[in-house]
Amino acid sequence: MIDLETEICICNGLSVRDIAECIKENKLTTMQEILENEICPMGDKCEACQDEGFNNDGLNIPMVLSLVQKKLI
């Protein structure tokens, strides 16, 4: 399992846990909604967290969204 404290959105300082909580609390269901949300901005400064991940490790916002939708986190 992924460490929930792993920082995914480096520019905004958000971990897997932070992103998952925002997605759940605000009932975000698509990447478009995530990128447009102003409550907990993420993925708005650079694109690494949307694509390959900050460390080219594949840990990104779409992965967190998928895990939340599958109720794995």
In a domain? residue 2: no
> Domain range for residue 61?
7-69
High-pLDDT (> 90) share of the chain, %: 71
pTM over 0.85: yes
| Vertex 18: Cα angle to 13 and 20 (nearest 5) | 135
pLDDT of residue 39: 93
Tell whether 12 is covered by a domain. Answer: yes
Sort residue 13 into left (φ over 0), alpha (ψ -120 to 50) or beta: left
Q: Is residue 1 part of a domain?
A: no
Rounded to whole angstroms, the Cα distance separating 16 from 30 reads 16
Cβ neighbours of residue 54 closer than 8 Å, sequence gap 6 or more: 7, 8, 10, 48
**Summary mean pLDDT of the chain:** 92
Residue 15 forms part of a structural domain? yes
Mean pLDDT for the stretch of residues 19-42: 95
Is position 37 within any domain? yes
Q: Is residue 21 part of a domain?
A: yes
Q: Look at the chain and report how many structural domains it folds into.
A: 1
Eight-state DSSP code of residue 9:
E
